[in-house]
Structure formats: C-alpha cells, structure tokens
Amino acid sequence: MARIFLHKLIMRNIKHLAIIMDGNGRWAKKKGLPRIEGHKRGVSVIKKIVQSADDMGIKYLTLYSFSTENWKRPKSEVKFLFKLMEENLKKEAENLHKNNIHVLFAGRIDELPLFLQKTILEMKNLTRKNTGLRLIFAINYGGRQEIVDAVNKAFEMNGNKKIDKDMVRKFLYVPDVPDPDIVIRTSGEQRMSNFLTWQSVYSELYFTSKLWPDFDRNDLKRICDDYQKRKRRFGGL
Ligand code: IPE
Ligand code: IPE
Ligand code: MG
C-alpha cells in the first residue's frame, strides 16, 4: 500500500501513456508458433500493463490495437483479432468495472464487425460513470483519418467560418484527453505507424527492442523512471 502510494507520488507528472503494442507475430515466429499465438499472448500482457499503469497513478492509457492499415493483413488474421478483442472485452468487463476503470475507444468503430461494435458499446455503457483510469483502445484507428474526420465535423458545426486548432481538438475521437506524455513502441521498429498524429507532437518517445508479448511491468517502470529525467521544453527555454 505504502509502496503504491510512494510510486504515485514519484510518477505524478505522467498523465497519459500511449503504447504501440508491436511484435506479436515475430514473438510467435521465434517460437515456431502461428502468429495468432502471439496475439493471444499479447492480450495477457495488456492485462498486466493496465494494472501497472493504474497502480502508478497514470490517468490515461491508450493502447494501439488495430490500425486503419491493418486491414491489409490476411482476412483470417483480421477476423481472429476482432474475435479476440470481443472475447477479452467480455471476459474483462466486470473486473475493469470493479476497478473503476472507464473504457473508451478511438477509431472508426462503425466500420468494425457488428459483434464487436456491440461489445464495445456495452463496455462503454458499463464503465461510463467510472472515475479511475481511462483506458482507451485505438481500434481501426488512423491518425490522419482522425484529423480529417475531426476537421469535417468541425466544418459541419461551424458553417463556413474558419476552423482553428481548438475546434479540431474538440472533435478528435475521444475528447478531453491530454496529449500523451510518453509514447512507447515495442519490437524495435522506430516509427509511429499512423498513431496519435495530432496528439503526439510533443510526446517523449521510447523505443524498445522487446517484443510486446515479452514486455512487462519492469520495462514499464524503467521507462517511467527514465521519463522523470527528461527535460520537456515544448519549444520554450
Ligand atoms: C502487433 O503485432 C499487433 C497488431 C498490429 C494487431 P504484429 O502483428 O504487428 O506483430 P509483428 O510486427 O508482425 O511481429
Ligand atoms: C502498428 O503496428 C499498429 C498496431 C500496433 C496496432 P504495425 O505492425 O501495423 O506497424 P508497421 O506495419 O510495422 O508499421
Ligand atoms: Mg507489427
């Protein structure tokens, strides 16, 4: 208890952590397993990391789960991923709710299969009054698409008048979320792959060669500790 409290104090300036959970397929390949086994293992890591982020007093956690480009994968893998999401959202619903976690979704949700849309809606409704960690799953998410969608909505609302930055921000998929302080990408790739394009302009970036299924709370803790040493200037002095 005391340890958690102390940690919350130390981690006080991390509000929003965002993660590109990459490397499931390579993890499986290394073990001679089908790619889907990597995705399954990845889910168990999500559970632990959600818990750790909550323990650290982080307020917002965004997890990149499926990009607008991931539709290019074989149909069977895409279908498996959606089924896996549905299954685990259902399985974890009560537990997340019990822990006061508010679950949200960013992306073009209306293009997802209906069974998943239904589960997403149920999860949003179940947890909507919770005041703890905001857990945001980015599904069918593309940063460029998000900006275009926001600009179009702002344009509709605003008639012919010019649109400014505040208006675009207001119409992002999940409003009222501070920009991520930290973006982590696992698997050794060093790119953003269309993640949080608007929001990440001043985020501190961390790239680790660990594959997502091997990532654990100690890795997270190390990154958060290192973050304490970074000087954020936002263009100032
Ligand atoms: C991340 O792992 C999960 C998703 C993108 C859905 P990958 O499936 O991209 O794993 P690698 O990059 O092929 O190893
Ligand atoms: C980014 O990973 C998307 C998610 C983790 C959901 P990818 O594996 O799709 O990214 P690229 O193709 O290597 O850039
Ligand atoms: Mg990948």
Q: State pLDDT tens for residues 13-62.
A: 899 999 999 999 999 999 999 999 999 999 999 999 999 999 999 999 99
Residue 13: active-site member? no
Residue 108 falls inside a structural domain? yes
In a domain, 125, yes or no: yes
> For the chain, what percent of residues have pLDDT higher than 90?
93
CATH number of the domain within which 37 lies: 3.40.1180.10
Across residues 115-129, what is the average pLDDT? 98
What's residue 152's pLDDT? Answer: 95
Radius of gyration of the chain (CA): 18
CA of 127 to the centre of ligand 2 (A): 28
Whether the Cβ atoms of residue 214 and residue 27 lie closer than 8 Å to each other: yes
Q: Over the stretch 172-194, which tens digit does the pLDDT of each residue have?
A: 999 999 999 999 999 999 999 99
Q: Coil, strand or helix: which one is 141?
A: strand
The total domain count for the chain is 1
Q: Which of 13, 24, 55, 70 is catalytic?
A: 70
Mutate to test the pocket of ligand 2, among 65, 193, 207, 210 (most ligand atoms within 8 A of CB): 193
Model pTM?
0.96
Helix extents (H) in 99-191: 114-127, 143-157, 165-170
Owning domain of residue 71: 2-142+180-227
Active site residue 70: yes
Report how far ligand 3's centroid is from the alpha carbon of 121 (Å): 27
Dihedral in degrees, nearest 10, Cα atoms 77, 191, 211, 24: 0
The answer to the question of residue 150 being in a domain is no
